[in-house]
Structure 1
Amino acid sequence: MAPVKVSANGSNGRTNDENEENDTVDLKNLLLQESDLFLSSLDSEAYLDSLAPIITEALKANALAEFISKLNDYVKGKDAELNQKSLDSATDINTCIDSIDQVSIQSHELSGSLLKVNSFLKQSTLGLIEKKSKLLKAKETERAITETSLVLNLCIQVLEITNKIHELIKQRRYFSALKLIDELTSIHLPKVSNFSFSVKIYDSIPHLTSMIKEEALDNLCKWLLTQVERKIDDIGDKISLSLEATQNDWASKREGSVLLMPHRLNSAVEMSMRDADLNFNVFESSELNITLGPVFDCLLVYQSLGELPILCAAYHKEWMKKYQRIIYPMTLSLSAREKLAFFKETKVSFPDLISLESYLRKIAALFVVDKQLNSQTKFELRSNASADDLWESFANKLKPVLINFLETEEWTMDNLSQLVDFKDLLGNFLQTMENSQYKTSELYDILIIVLRDYYGPLLIQQFRFEFIQSIQSDHYMPSVVTNKNMYDEIMKICWYKSESSFAPKNIKGFPVSFPFSEDYLRYCINIRQLLKDLIDFTSDYYSQDLAELNRIIVNDIFEKCLGDTPGFGICHDMKTFITKNANNKEIVAQSYTNLEYYLYSLYEIGKLIDKRLRFSNGIGIINIDTNSTFKLKAIELFTSVRKFSEDAIFQMVDQKVHELLELLQYEDWTPASANTGPSGDIEEFAVFLDNLFNSIFSNLPSSFRTLGLFRSFDFISEYFLSELNNAPRFNRNAIINLDLDVKHLEESMASLVSTDSQGDGALQSTFAELRQSIDLLLLDNYDEFYKDPTFRMRRFDRLKYDLALKLLKKMQREEVDDVVSITENTLTREGSILSGSAAKFANWGKFRKSDT
């Protein structure tokens, strides 16, 4: 307990009485509290230690007497309580003694029971030991049985695996069987190696492995037979359908596109734009249902055994057998000697296109399967290089066969469609090969041969045949249209100069007359059709060496078709036709007019060919600058034919005029009297001449008409001048008659050229010498002619002086003879000068004639 603090004066700020009273109360309370503590601790062994501080505090508080008194009371109370408890505990002790007696009795009984239990436990322990011994023996037996069972299970498992291997071999699951063999030898057999049967099984492993190899290879060979060789027709059909779908897809994308049109199927552009679904895979086709299990199984077997090179050699050998059977199906029934002869024979052919198509489809299927199978097997069995080598070898054999097929067929216009089918068939075959990355340049040459040597010549002959028919059936008169629809059609078809009289801008109404005849219209239609046929023929499959392709189209077809090669060129045919009809003025004249348009069309055809080839093939005609224009070589040939037709017209006119002149008879050069007008023969001659010129030159250009008339006038003038010069003698009446006839001719001819001022000058030039000869002979006096050189130069500049003297000598007048005899000496002295001047002007006149 904590000590009570007291102030120094003993009162702590209070009075002594109050302090004393308060101290008594506090001490009492304290003793009471401490007494409770004391009392509570009397039962404790350390009660003295607890009591000491209480007594000390009581002493300090001067309350020890009270504390002792209370303590005595407490002790008395406790003694009384103890006595009471002692009396009570005696009863309890007696009761306990009775209970102990009962316990003792029960204890003796329990000891007997324990002895019995102990005896029973001893007996149980002995039984348990016996049973445990039996248990241990049973466990040993069980362990032996378990070990035996385990060994038996291992043996059974080995046998089951061995049977499973045989079953897998029967099921053609060779790789699985091989894996089980590996598992059997590495895991299961070592566990049962003490048994004799395991030794036998182990010894059979090499045989099983060899059997798996052989049967896996045999199964692969059967797969090639059943899934490739026997399905080769179906595979070819599916590849053909896939190609057709790809072609149609590309044609729809390419149609009307300037950028895509030059690019053929299998080009880099086409392949980059091709839908992946269009790439046909033989082994993914549900319809063909060709599984690659046997191939992969065999491949895995040989890979696992490390004998892949052996498999590749065997596979190559088997593949070559299938190849030989497919590429030479017609040789299966031949003997060995016949086969050898057949293989050496290059001229193998097919009876028709159907058999050839079936054959090429098989070939395509074989080579497509070759590469796709290589790809599927990761080139483990066969490389693409081997496939390419085989293809090149086959292509070298196929090329002469296809050429022989072309050569044995008789290609005409009647079976031209079959030639197109042959081209399509070969083109499809080559596109199939290209799609599998095979080189096709060797067989592509046949496409070029088809175009250059067969299709082109047939088109040339067809064009030439229609052209000859056209020129032979033409009416050779200008074409006339009576309605706008027909006019518009002709304007779309034919080529013409924009300033032509029949051009749309110059048309005011109908009917409209064209200078050319119908054969030019047919020519325009046919030449456009010829170009269209060639573009259509080459637009799908001709994809290599486009410059050479353009050269063939231009040089070997168009130039040859338009050229002058006999039997091919229409230029030669036209020249021949003009030659045969040289006397037909309508044909010759209209041909000359038509040739003007033919010639102009060639310039436009050259542009059109270049444009169409550039659109179709991506390149125009080679060796042409961007600013230059391609010109056909046929232009020069047609120019020469036009000149030939011009000469033919002139020759025909000259012949007609000559025939008319032969009808004139100037035999009487000394008539007794002069005529009052032109003779009847001259009048008829003038009428025939007028009809001739109008019929021939009416539709010809004015320049040509002028030239033709000038030539005829010159020819007529020379004829009359020749007649006059060749007459032995003549009198004045004959000259007057001649003058009347010539004037009539001059007047009639002048009417033919009245619309051309140049023609009038040409007329005067051609008749100048004849007119001056007549005027000279009609002079009343020749003295001035002889004596006055100025007079001669002024009025008779076209006459040579010596020829004029000869004419004057023939004139039946005495004074003429006298004058001539007198002037002969003068002529000797002055003739050189005079005749030189006359010759000069005469030569000028001849120059004028030759110049015109």
Structure 2
Amino acid sequence: MSSVAVDSLQLENLLLRDEDIFQTSLNSEDYLESLAPIIRDSIRSNGLNSLIVKLNEIVNDKDEELNVASMESTDEISQCINQIDSIHQESMVLKDEFMKVNQSLNKSTIELINRKNRFIKYKTVCGRINETSIVLTECIQVLELTNKILESIRQSKYFNALKLLDELLNIHIAKVQDFNFAKKIVDSIPHLTKMIKDDCFDNISRWLSLNLEQKLTAVGQAIFNNIHVLQNNWEDIKKNNKTFLPYKLNSPVEQSLRDPGINYNIFTDQSLQIPLNSIYDAILVYQTLHELDTLIDAYHKEWMKKYSRIIYPLAPASVNIKDIDFTNLELAGYLQKISAFFIMDKQLNLITKFQLRTNTQADELWLSYTTKLKPVLLHNLKRNRFNNVDDLKKYKDLIGDFLQVMDNYSYDITELYDVLMIIFKDYFAPLVVQDFRSQFIDSITSDHYMPLAVDSQEDYDSIMKLVWYQKDSAFAPQNVRSMPIQLPFSEDYIHYCFGIRNLINIVIVFISEHYNYEITEINNIIVNDIVELVLSNKKGFGIAYDIEDFVKRNATNKEIVAQTYTNLEYYLFSLYEVGRMINNRLRQYTGVGIHNIDVNDTFTLQAVDTFKDLKKYSEQAIFEMVDSKINELLDMVEYFDYTTTEKNTEANYSVKDFAGFLVNLFTSIFSTLPSTLRTLGLFKTYDFVSEHFLNVLKRAPSYNRTFVENFDLDIRYLEDSMRKLHSPREGNTEALESTFAELRQAIDLLKLENYDEFLNNPGFRMRHFDRIKLEFGQSLIGKMIGGSTNPTDDDTASLKSFETSATASKFTQFAGRFKRMGDNI
């Protein structure tokens, strides 16, 4: 088959397939677009002619079909024409109606256009009105903000005013910046800012005046009340636990155990009602303005102004301390205000987080102030001239409470603590020393100086608890079986023991509060300036001096001298116990004992040596008193007739009186004294008497045997009397009797019938007269009238005139002197 035939066949198939294409109008773009590929394919396959032929055939076929269809549809067309006519008529009617509608529509359109135009105009006006309304609203907001700013300033809400000002400047003012009033507002912003700053600081100044200056008294009272509460709470704790006794208020131990809830805070005290808005407001304002340094400087200046007013009259640099004269009540109020000022300073620093002032500034201001206050307190202390411990304690408590308050808030009180130390050392110590000394002098001058007799068990128990004594004493409780009992010491010793205990208690109570520091120095003052001083022999201060002076003034009163010596025995023993007690009490109440303690941990007072010397002095006074009285009595025992012819049958009455005095002396004075002292007294007395009567023989110009016999009778009477004074429990009497050996041998020598053996036989002399030296014996023998024989009548007659004249005058003198001495005894 040829290629042409093939192409023709293909074209026919294609056209048949796409027969529907020709159903469309020839003007249809879809037709042309559908036909174009057929034509293009025909051209490519060289079948264009066949395509044209075929297209013609198709056209002819379709025409025929159309003719047939047209003929067949004539009736229908007629009907359609009729219908079209009726439609035409109806359309004409509709046209008329449409014309009417169109006219109405045209009229409505014109009206609508007019309305639209009016609407557009109205819309434009409304837009402008809205724009104007918005602008006016912004203007109103600007004005309202301006008014709010001014109102906040009036209400002292400065930070709020500053926030509103910032909002005005950064948000609202830009929207109305073209208006003149806005420009004026913008121009006034620096003024408003300055007004906020100035009013804010003025408000702080007013706040300080109202809540600092005017409330200082109330704040001070509240602070002092709180320190008393803290003190009472701490005392309660110490009562329940003695371990805490050495620790004072504000010590680390006390602070660690303190309930934080009872610490006082000025700004949480509802009774004060101190608002803090002004302070916070000012800080926020100046921080926001980045001018906090300016506020700090201004605040510091204002604070110093308040400080100068509050510390008046100490403020002027040229103030004369002598012109500042506080009563105790005025000083109390003044110190309360000062404490309130400085404590408020630190508490303000804390709540403001140290943005205005630091605690370093507060501490430096405080140290500067203490240099002004210290001289005033010392001047006031000196001016008061305290005469009793109670008044001084009130003044000490006033200063001490103030220092505890300041110490509680971490202020350095070192400078002012010196005032407390001065009070203690220079005022309290002399006062208690003089009080003790005064009471002691009253005691020793009013004491009867007799061993104390106790009748009741209750009194005995009270005394034993009070006095110091050796536990093995005869009057110790374990050795007492019944009442009454006689104690060796007098009431004076009991008063002394009570006074010492009371003195230590007074001292402990005085330092129990406020004395937190320099404990070692305080202990030294207690020991050296109080206890040691009051026990010393320093004139006007120490009782040792007063005891010695009292003994001197009563040196002739045997009861006082003897009982004082006995009391001194117990005084001396008590000093060891007092030293131990002081050391223990100081350890208990201060935590520090006395450093110079011995190996037995027992503190020994220096007064021990003083009282040992005083005891020796008292012992010497006893012997001097005894010697003095014996000497006075012996002066009355005089011998006038050394050649008497009358032989006595008993001792001379003056010798008997003298012997009676010795018995009375040793049974009264030495009865309560230690046996060693009594023995020593006997030795001294024996020796003194022996020496006196030996001197009678030495001073006698001459004597006869009758005188020697009478003299021997007197001496034997003395020897017997004195021998009775020596108690067997005091040991062998031979030593005492040996004091009369020389006198006895002298008398025995003179009584010999023949002196040749004494003069010529050394062996005999050594056996019987070993105490008599040959020269002394020769002197005695040489005075014997008549040698180995009785005196002659001439010798007797020669001495009669002497006896008669001398005896009468001497007897009268002796009687008067002895009477006076008897009265003194």
Establish whether TM, by shorter chain, passes 0.5: yes
- Give the match for residue 445 of structure 2: 472
- Give the match for residue 398 of structure 1: 373
Q: How many positions carry a matched residue from both structures?
A: 710
- Give the match for residue 727 of structure 1: 700
- Give the match for residue 495 of structure 2: 522
Q: Do the aligned residues in 2 keep the contact of 1:721 with 1:770 (CA within 8 Å)?
A: yes
1: CA distance between counterparts of 2:83 and 2:497?
A: 151
The yes-or-no answer on 1:196 pairing with 2:169 is: no
From 571, 579, 598, give the equivalent of 2:571. 598
Q: Do the aligned residues in 1 keep the contact of 2:436 with 2:503 (CA within 8 Å)?
A: yes
- Give the match for residue 573 of structure 1: 546
2: CA distance between counterparts of 1:787 and 1:147?
A: 169
- Give the match for residue 364 of structure 1: 339
**Identity over aligned residues, as a percent?**
49
For residue 250 of structure 1, report the CA deviation from its aligned partner. 1.1
Pairwise mapping of residues 612-627 of structure 1 onto structure 2 (< 5 A)?
612-624=585-597, 627=600
SS in 1 for 2:771: coil
For residue 669 of structure 1, what is the amino acid of its counterpart?
Y
From 637, 641, 651, give the equivalent of 1:664. 637
Pairwise mapping of residues 771-786 of structure 1 onto structure 2 (< 5 A)?
771-786=744-759
Pairwise mapping of residues 326-725 of structure 1 onto structure 2 (< 5 A)?
326-328=310-312, 343-413=318-388, 416-624=389-597, 627-725=600-698
Structure 1 106/686 Cα, relative in aligned 2: closer, same or farther at 3 Å?
farther
1: CA distance between counterparts of 2:438 and 2:596?
A: 32
For residue 445 of structure 1, what is the amino acid of its counterpart?
D
- Give the match for residue 304 of structure 1: 288
For residue 736 of structure 2, what is the amino acid of its counterpart?
L
SS in 1 for 2:471: coil
2: CA distance between counterparts of 1:757 and 1:789?
A: 36
For residue 809 of structure 1, report the CA deviation from its aligned partner. 2.4
The yes-or-no answer on 1:740 pairing with 2:716 is: no
For residue 252 of structure 2, what is the amino acid of its counterpart?
A
1: CA distance between counterparts of 2:789 and 2:101?
A: 205
Q: Deviations over 1:422-479 (max 9, x none)?
A: 1111111001111111111111111111111112211111111111111111111011
For residue 399 of structure 1, what is the amino acid of its counterpart?
K
For residue 108 of structure 1, report the CA deviation from its aligned partner. 8.6
Q: Do the aligned residues in 2 keep the contact of 1:347 with 1:400 (CA within 8 Å)?
A: no
2: CA distance between counterparts of 1:218 and 1:157?
A: 29
Q: Deviations over 1:767-805 (max 9, x none)?
A: 111112222222333344344433333322222232222
- Give the match for residue 169 of structure 1: 153
- Give the match for residue 268 of structure 1: 252
Pairwise mapping of residues 151-166 of structure 1 onto structure 2 (< 5 A)?
151-166=135-150
2: CA distance between counterparts of 1:728 and 1:434?
A: 91
Q: Do the aligned residues in 2 keep the contact of 1:671 with 1:734 (CA within 8 Å)?
A: yes
From 143, 159, 169, give the equivalent of 2:127. 143
Structure 1 276/113 Cα, relative in aligned 2: closer, same or farther at 3 Å?
farther
- Give the match for residue 767 of structure 1: 740
1: CA distance between counterparts of 2:82 and 2:348?
A: 108
Q: Do the aligned residues in 1 keep the contact of 2:245 with 2:589 (CA within 8 Å)?
A: yes
Q: Do the aligned residues in 2 keep the contact of 1:772 with 1:796 (CA within 8 Å)?
A: yes
Q: Deviations over 1:258-311 (max 9, x none)?
A: 321111111111111111121111111110001111111112211211222221
For residue 224 of structure 2, what is the amino acid of its counterpart?
S
- Give the match for residue 323 of structure 1: 307
Q: Deviations over 1:738-771 (max 9, x none)?
A: 2211111111001111334436133212111111
Pairwise mapping of residues 280-299 of structure 1 onto structure 2 (< 5 A)?
280-299=264-283
- Give the match for residue 61 of structure 1: none
Structure 1 206/776 Cα, relative in aligned 2: closer, same or farther at 3 Å?
same
The yes-or-no answer on 1:206 pairing with 2:190 is: yes
Q: Deviations over 1:98-129 (max 9, x none)?
A: xx999999989997897657974865777666
TM (normalized to structure 1)?
0.79
Structure 1 759/199 Cα, relative in aligned 2: closer, same or farther at 3 Å?
farther
From 159, 167, 182, give the equivalent of 1:183. 167
For residue 722 of structure 1, report the CA deviation from its aligned partner. 1.3
- Give the match for residue 810 of structure 1: 783
Q: Deviations over 1:605-628 (max 9, x none)?
A: 111111111111111112336742
TM (normalized to structure 2)?
0.82
Q: Do the aligned residues in 2 keep the contact of 1:670 with 1:730 (CA within 8 Å)?
A: yes
- Give the match for residue 6 of structure 1: none
For residue 501 of structure 1, report the CA deviation from its aligned partner. 0.9
For residue 540 of structure 1, what is the amino acid of its counterpart?
E
For residue 505 of structure 2, what is the amino acid of its counterpart?
K
Pairwise mapping of residues 17-166 of structure 1 onto structure 2 (< 5 A)?
120=101, 134-166=118-150
Structure 1 348/621 Cα, relative in aligned 2: closer, same or farther at 3 Å?
farther
Q: Do the aligned residues in 2 keep the contact of 1:265 with 1:540 (CA within 8 Å)?
A: yes
Following TM superposition, where does structure 1 have runs of at least 4 consecutive aligned residues deviating by more than 4 angstroms?
A: 100-137, 813-817
For residue 161 of structure 1, what is the amino acid of its counterpart?
L
Structure 1 348/111 Cα, relative in aligned 2: closer, same or farther at 3 Å?
farther
Q: Do the aligned residues in 1 keep the contact of 2:759 with 2:774 (CA within 8 Å)?
A: no
Q: Do the aligned residues in 2 keep the contact of 1:350 with 1:356 (CA within 8 Å)?
A: no
SS in 2 for 1:677: coil
2: CA distance between counterparts of 1:182 and 1:323?
A: 36
2: CA distance between counterparts of 1:670 and 1:554?
A: 69
1: CA distance between counterparts of 2:488 and 2:82?
A: 167
- Give the match for residue 827 of structure 1: none
- Give the match for residue 229 of structure 2: 245
For residue 216 of structure 1, report the CA deviation from its aligned partner. 0.8
Structure 1 538/107 Cα, relative in aligned 2: closer, same or farther at 3 Å?
farther
- Give the match for residue 796 of structure 1: 769
2: CA distance between counterparts of 1:211 and 1:647?
A: 95
2: CA distance between counterparts of 1:364 and 1:687?
A: 78
SS in 2 for 1:468: helix
For residue 668 of structure 1, report the CA deviation from its aligned partner. 2.3
Q: Do the aligned residues in 2 keep the contact of 1:348 with 1:401 (CA within 8 Å)?
A: no
> Which deviates more, 150-159 or 533-542?
150-159
Structure 1 131/643 Cα, relative in aligned 2: closer, same or farther at 3 Å?
same
> Which deviates more, 752-761 or 640-649?
752-761
SS in 2 for 1:344: coil
Q: Do the aligned residues in 2 keep the contact of 1:348 with 1:404 (CA within 8 Å)?
A: no
Structure 1 582/143 Cα, relative in aligned 2: closer, same or farther at 3 Å?
same
2: CA distance between counterparts of 1:456 and 1:257?
A: 30
Q: Deviations over 1:613-649 (max 9, x none)?
A: 1111111112336742111111111111111111111
SS in 1 for 2:648: coil
- Give the match for residue 19 of structure 2: none
